[in-house]
Chain A
């Protein structure tokens, strides 16, 4: 879209014109000066970030930005959300249009290196899957030879799909759209035979269909898609804050600290790990350039990782996705945060 072209071109120009200072702490100073965290989210994906009927941006990606705002300002509402398409997102982060990109983006080597990003962790372990119309009678992705596929432009899914079909000696016709909504609508209309994306997205898009039961997710998962927030290269202090906001939420869940009991825990916790995390022992918050009780604010206002997950994508949400790989490491999942000390 020319709109997105203009935005990308604008961002490219911003790269030309902004002055070349990137000293550590520059982002935190700028965020504090603005009074809010500039957060890049998706252009509408249930469970991750979309605008609900009351006009609030909700979802796990949006909540993570709120957690960062709570860490910096002690106030989770101090976030400005910028919806970005898959094509726009990295340029927007590179050029400083957003401070954190929390937009169901896959962590890959080229994005860490050539694109000049730093992924701050994994908020959701995902994998690429296929959504097809039941009428086709397809039971496996291996039967999709010669099919048309709707897909979002500028994603890892686009590349994985080509790899998968090539390695299985199958052919496909890609119909590429800028927005995930557009590809989902195209599948619903029959412009393509199947939709491929991260599995979480497939479930999220399916609940938006008029007849969700007509569509089925195939069993194959063809890739690893660790989705997480990213920041720019060159500002380690900001990188640490974003990274440890997520780790703090994970550690809080591991220690049983929730938004409901956090005030109680501040007063009564005896576990040294919990006391350090909540800032009642030691001065770990100062190391980040934040208030000593920043984790309390994060957990109180946004919740620990488990709460954030359940509320947005888990059993408490319309998506009803099980914790699975996203359970804590001591409960059979992959979510593991380094110790807070």
Chain B
């Protein structure tokens, strides 16, 4: 070390003692180690696969699958490719996840509010529900609904018959399928026009209230527009809608739409299970808003409904949304339990049957994991965006 000259700046330490350089060096070493391990695993896999003569690569996605699938939202036959199987499985997963999230949210909010009800019976019912369903493992609940309940429905020939149009049996719930005529397009257009009209109305009402203080029954008028306009168009255009009713022919019902019991039990179990958690989240959100807010709102002359809608819930949402996101992610991931009862979801069809028929474990498992990761990140992103919009604007 050179001796320090008076008045000059302290000389720079040698680079191996420079904290900034050191930090960079350690990061580079760590990164290189991770890459090396990754590279080793990759190389090792290649060698192993080659040694054992196992096919690799993604060419199998174009090969013919050759097996049937009970529920497909896009057209599918046995002669389609494994790539198509992937899409069928993905859509089945998204279907059950989306419906599960929707129903669990609705049921969870109702239960969460009910749990806080001043009515003793309602509050206790909600309490028992929550403690019962959130403490029983989900897989058992799925088994309960599938094997315990839906397995005991009557056979196809002895179906529960509702007015000769809806049938319920062990094979599923059969309902009529709407068949849209060409003129139905007008109804759709009318519906979108009604949405635009309602949005415009809401803005106008909001502005009028801000200027004059006159409230306007936006909800009821908006509902009237949303229902009335398309309905009027529907009758004016000559009712361009018919129904295809399911009919028992041979072994099964044909025509109409069917909800298979595998989907029903999975959906019911997911909804009931997750709703119990969401109810607690909602309750905690509402309780997090101090009672003083309610009293202040009442003191300003707001009635009970507007107090809840304009004061309590907007503040509660800030507490509710982050844990709610986790529940939505759980619904999506828990939907993989589908394989236990034979619902054809992504894991069952792609990481299961396709893997087994092609033997390409690494490719199918990687694709499947990547897809779940992508779905989860997408849900997180959406919820974070919503959370940001709802968050407290600090001034």
Q: Which residues of chain B have C-beta atoms less than 8 A from A91's C-beta? A: 355-356, 359, 361
B38 to chain A, nearest CB (A): 10
A1 to B336, CA, bound (A): 7
Interface string of A140-165 (1 = CB under 8 A from B): 00001111100001100011011100
Most buried by B among A22, A136, A144: A22
Is B233 engaged at the interface, CB distance under 8 Å to the other chain? no
A191 to B251, CA, bound (A): 12
The B-contacting residues of A in range 202-217, CB under 8 angstroms, are none
B137 to chain A, nearest CB (A): 12
A191 to B171, CA, bound (A): 6
Of the listed stretches A72-80, A169-177, A259-267, name the one at the interface; the rest are far from the partner chain: A169-177
Interface size on B, residues (CB 8 A): 52
Interface size on A, residues (CB 8 A): 58
Is B45 engaged at the interface, CB distance under 8 Å to the other chain? yes
Interface string of B353-366 (1 = CB under 8 A from A): 10111111110010
Q: Are B250 and A145 in contact (CB under 8 A)?
A: yes
A15 to B48, CA, bound (A): 7
Q: Which residues of chain B have C-beta atoms less than 8 A from A5's C-beta? A: 336, 339, 347, 351-352
A146 to B352, CA, bound (A): 26
Q: Are B250 and A116 in contact (CB under 8 A)?
A: no
Beyond A8-B361, A94-B361, whether A176 also contacts B344 by CB under 8 A is: yes
User: A146 touches which one: B250, B262, B348 (CB < 8 A)?
Assistant: B250
Is B224 engaged at the interface, CB distance under 8 Å to the other chain? no
Q: Are B70 and A1 in contact (CB under 8 A)?
A: no
Q: Are B70 and A173 in contact (CB under 8 A)?
A: yes
Is A12 engaged at the interface, CB distance under 8 Å to the other chain? yes
Nearest B residue to A158 via CB reads B67
Beyond A4-B339, A5-B336, whether A234 also contacts B53 by CB under 8 A is: yes
Q: Which residues of chain A have C-beta atoms less than 8 A from B54's C-beta? A: 94, 114-116, 233
Q: Are B48 and A172 in contact (CB under 8 A)?
A: no
Q: Are A189 and B53 in contact (CB under 8 A)?
A: no
Beyond A159-B67, A161-B68, A162-B68, whether A12 also contacts B362 by CB under 8 A is: yes
A186 to B151, CA, bound (A): 8
Beyond A158-B67, A159-B67, whether A147 also contacts B250 by CB under 8 A is: yes
B70 to chain A, nearest CB (A): 6
A152 to B78, CA, bound (A): 16
18 inter-chain pairs at a CB distance below 8 angstroms, sorted by A residue, are A1-B340, A12-B362, A16-B362, A20-B47, A22-B51, A87-B356, A91-B359, A146-B254, A153-B352, A154-B355, A158-B67, A162-B67, A173-B68, A175-B70, A182-B342, A190-B155, A191-B171, A234-B52
Which residues of A are at the interface with B, using a C-beta cutoff of 8 A?
1-2, 4-5, 8-9, 11-12, 15-20, 22, 86-87, 89-91, 94-95, 110-111, 113-116, 136, 144-148, 153-154, 158-159, 161-163, 166, 172-178, 182, 186, 189-191, 193, 232-234
- CB-CB nearest 5 A-B residue pairs: A154-B356, A115-B359, A116-B54, A20-B47, A162-B78
